[in-house]
Chain A
Amino acid sequence: MTIIPKVLVTKIGLDGHDRGSRIVTAALRDAGMEVIYTPPWQEIASVVKLVLEEDVDVIGISSLATDHLIVPKLIEALAAAGLAHKPVIVGGIVPDSDARELEAAGVARVFHPGSAMQDIVTYIRAAAERSRAAAYSE
């Protein structure tokens, strides 16, 4: 079954650098995905609300300046809203030790600077398919 993945690309926390999130959004759209893109500085509660209302398959968080440190809070908030099956992907400047902590906290994958766009697209497509299957099996 081929699906059209629906992806949320957003930024939480304080930083506003959005070159990465804009470029990834363009690449996902070029690959035929539906992308919901938001300005930076989203509150965690509003991200959860967006995920619920828009029923996205994958949540992509872009972080350049340490905002990845509050991603575990987002994961908890998603779980509390019954959205634990929605994969959260982080892209940006994340030190290795922090990436391991994020993965332990439930982040599906961390993409670092220099990642090939094709790798990101392929990963997100597969993650979306798994996410959609998990949603149907509920």
Chain B
Amino acid sequence: MNRSVEMPALDAAAAQQWQREYDAQIGKDRATVNRSGIPVKALYTPADWDGTRHLHDLGYPGQPPFTRGIYPTMHRGRTWTQRQLIGLGTPTDYNLRLTDLLSQGISAVSLIPCNSVFRGYDMDETHAELLGTCGTVINHAGHMDEALAGVDLARVSCAMNDPSPFTLFAFLLVTAKRRGVPWTQLTGTSNQSDYLSHFVANHMFYRLANAGARRVLVDQIAFAIEHVPRWNPMSVVGQHTQQAGATPAEAAAFTLSTAIQNAEDCIARGLDPDRFLPRFTFFFDISVSFFEEIAKFRAMRRLWGRIARERLGAGTPQAWRFKFHGQTSGADLTRQQPLNNVARVTIQAMAGIFGGLQSLHTDAYDEAVSCPTEAGARIAIATQNILKEESHLTDVIDPLGGSYYVEAMTDAMEAEIERVMARIDAVGGMYAAAESGLVQRMIGESALCFQRQVDQGEQTIVGVNKYAAEDNAASPAQPKPDPAAMAQHLTQFRRWKALRDGASVKRALAALAHAAESPRDNVMAEIVRAAEAGITHGEICACLRDVYGFGRPLVAV
């Protein structure tokens, strides 16, 4: 959208004088591009962004095209949800950590299960050494009740990092029911519902083959819209692709193309975009490339509003709002001089805030060394509190709006995102683009390109390829679950499993398999019934794997 603007003669003369002086003093100017490959100039002026178009390009907060924010009050009214990912050890360990963090000011729960859970296994199906080392071992509804003991489910928003087939969501629903909390009062998000991002980038959360994952996702959305109306069943994830190496513009494009794919799948099922689109949320990586990230989020807000309205046919403004959670980029963090990461996380978080996010996770500085320590997690929360309450960052809505640079870069990012989306559309949409390997190839090429820039010193990483010091600060020790407590958790689980009525377990699993094979049934409803009947996470995943096939990502080098 590079629009050239007529300049008054005086202005033009001043501009020419500056250019002459700049050229004379700079000598050989370095070619500068951002991570998305967009050239960055030394100076931006009214020639790059025409302020008279502000109503058309920017509008006002809460109004289309939403460039300045999706709500009229933005962070001046309500800042953002502090949602720290935590997960370690047993459900009791999780509950202790959660209670501590809630007392420090986090306002929402986010539950990370153990990697064994992510892969679709129960704790008696994997290496005991790995249990609880990266997340909490939750295998049935009773475990969820323990993990969330003392948490008022009607008040605290609960995000579940819960890929298809959404067993954690089912365990949460069962827990709510047992506690007498109506499902209509539950708020939260199925944070890892985007199977396509798992297929192309994250891999670990990819449990069911694409066709099955697609079916279960649409069923889960339909189920939530009907029974848990304040729940966000769809979180479209740009974080995985960017962490895997996609540029910010590519990650943005993959995410929007995925959102379109999922929305079209829902429409094909007969769901009304005015009902399900307001419950779509987005989840992004925020890199340390400050202005680029701000421009990315502003451009995506504008694009999504237009896509929801024009392409997906949504009529309600609720459906046009691009609600997103941001997580500071772990890939930017360094093991070398780890305390430097506090500065990186602050810059990343500021980019997200100026980008207008609704919810934020700040990484702990020690994440490049291990899963975060308690001390690291505390600093991450304090960083958010400083940004939110101490630094006057939230006094003004979209404070960088109208900056020639930020507006010109927002336009340029929008154009680049649309260019990548057109490549996806050309091969038939995101599902087809993922199955063909196109997306994976693009991510791989961008990851290599960035690594070469680092290796050649074109991209500085302080403490790694520049300013490297011999005496790196001692790295903190990995928090590990107490082996005795984990062994006890495993023993109790085995005992609990053995005490179940074998016949009713068999019946519940047969009903689940039947629903999975019947296109007219809602698989999610059956998963919830199974969870209520005491069926475990691993059993539900195994049953659906048998029907749909095991999730094997396309991995090629």
Chain A interfacial positions (CB closer than 8 Å to B): 13-19, 22-23, 25-27, 35, 37, 39-41, 65-67, 69-70, 73, 93, 95-98, 112-114, 116-118
User: Of B243, B334, B371, B464, which one neighbours A65 at CB under 8 angstroms?
Assistant: B371
* CB-defined A-B contacts under 8 Å, sample of 21: A13-B115, A13-B127, A14-B115, A15-B134, A15-B204, A16-B204, A18-B203, A19-B447, A23-B451, A26-B557, A39-B552, A40-B555, A65-B133, A66-B115, A66-B133, A96-B475, A97-B477, A97-B478, A113-B334, A117-B451, A118-B455
Give the residues in chain B near A114, CB-CB below 8 Å: 334-336, 461, 463-464
Asked whether A112 and B129 contact (CB < 8 A) given A14-B118, A93-B370, the answer is: no
Seen from chain B, the residues whose Cβ lies within 8 Å of a Cβ on chain A are 115-116, 118-119, 126-127, 129-130, 133-134, 202-206, 243-245, 331, 334-336, 368-371, 444, 447-448, 451, 455, 461, 463-465, 474-478, 552-553, 555, 557
B198 and chain A: residue at smallest CB distance: A16
Cα distance A95–B477 when bound, in Å?
6
Q: How far is the CB of A30 from chain B (nearest CB, A)?
A: 10
Give the CA-CA distance A40 to B85 in the complex, in Å. Answer: 24
B164 to chain A, nearest CB (A): 15
Q: Which residues on the B side are within 8 Å of A112 (C-beta)?
A: 335
Q: Contacts A65-B115, A95-B478 given; indicate if A17 touches B204 (C-beta within 8 A).
A: yes
Question: In whole angstroms, how far apart are the Cα atoms of A104 and B268 in the complex?
Answer: 58
Contacts of A93 in B (CB 8 A): 335, 368-370
Closest chain-A Cβ to B98's Cβ sits at a distance in Å of 21
Report the separation of the CA atoms of residues A41 and B120 in the bound assembly, to the nearest whole angstrom: 13
Check A22–B557 contact: CB distance below 8 A: yes
When distances are taken between beta carbons in the complex, the residues of chain A under 8 Å from B370 are 93, 95
The dominant DSSP class at the B interface is loop
Contact B335 A113 (CB under 8 A): yes
With both chains docked as a complex, state the minimum distance between the C-beta of A123 and any C-beta of chain B, in angstroms.
Answer: 16
Min Cβ gap A40→B in Å is 6
CB atoms of A14 and B119 under 8 A apart: yes
- Assuming the A-B contacts A66-B130, A95-B475, are A19 and B243 also in contact, with contact meaning beta carbons closer than 8 angstroms in the complex? yes
Give Cα A70 to B203, complex, Å. Answer: 20
Q: How far is the CB of A94 from the nearest CB of chain B, in Å?
A: 8
- Known pairs A17-B202, A19-B243, A66-B478. 10 more at Cβ < 8 A? A19-B447, A23-B447, A23-B451, A39-B552, A66-B134, A95-B478, A98-B478, A114-B464, A117-B451, A118-B455
**Contact in complex: A16, B553 (CB < 8 Å):** yes
A90 CB to closest chain B CB, in angstroms?
A: 14
In the complex, which residues of chain A have a beta carbon less than 8 angstroms from the beta carbon of B478? 66, 95, 97-98
For B451, the chain A residues whose CB sits under 8 A away are 23, 27, 117
Whether the pair B206, A16 counts as a contact (CB closer than 8 A) is yes
Q: Give every chain A residue within 8 A of B134 (Cβ-Cβ).
A: 15, 65-66
What's the Cα separation between A73 and B335 when bound, in Å?
26
Q: In the complex, what's the smallest C-beta–C-beta distance from B551 to chain A, in angstroms?
A: 10
Contacts of B245 in A (CB 8 A): 19
User: Whole-angstrom distance between the alpha carbons of A112 and B243 in the complex?
Assistant: 18
Are B369 and A19 closer than 8 Å at their CB atoms? no
Contact (Cβ within 8 A) B447 A14: no
Report whether A40 and B203 are in contact in the complex, using a CB–CB cutoff of 8 Å.
yes
Pairs A-B, 6 closest by C-beta atoms: A16-B203, A16-B204, A14-B115, A66-B133, A39-B555, A114-B464
In the complex the two chains form, what is the Cα distance from A16 to B205 in whole Å? Answer: 8
CB distance from B295 to the nearest CB of A (A): 24
> Which residues of chain A are within 8 angstroms of B205 by Cβ–Cβ distance?
16
Provide the residues of chain B in CB contact with A73, threshold 8 Å.
Answer: 127, 129
A116 B455 Cβ-Cβ under 8 A? yes
Q: How far is the CB of A76 from chain B (nearest CB, A)?
A: 13
Closest Cβ–Cβ distance, residue A112 to chain B (whole Å): 5
* Complex Cα–Cα for A26 and B455 (A): 13
**Distance (Å) between the CB of A9 and the closest chain B CB?**
8
Nearest CB of B to A19, in Å: 5
Shortest beta-carbon distance from A42 to chain B in Å:
11
Give the CA-CA distance A116 to B145 in the complex, in Å. Answer: 46
Closest residue of chain A to B479 (Cβ to Cβ) is A95
Most interface-central of A22, A25, A39, A112 (chain B CB within 10 A): A22
Alpha-carbon gap, A117 to B368, bound state (A): 18
Distance of A49 from chain B, by nearest CB (Å):
18
Give chain A residues whose Cβ lies under 8 Å from the Cβ of B116: 14
> How far is it, in angstroms, between the C-alpha of A118 and the C-alpha of B456 when the chains are bound?
11
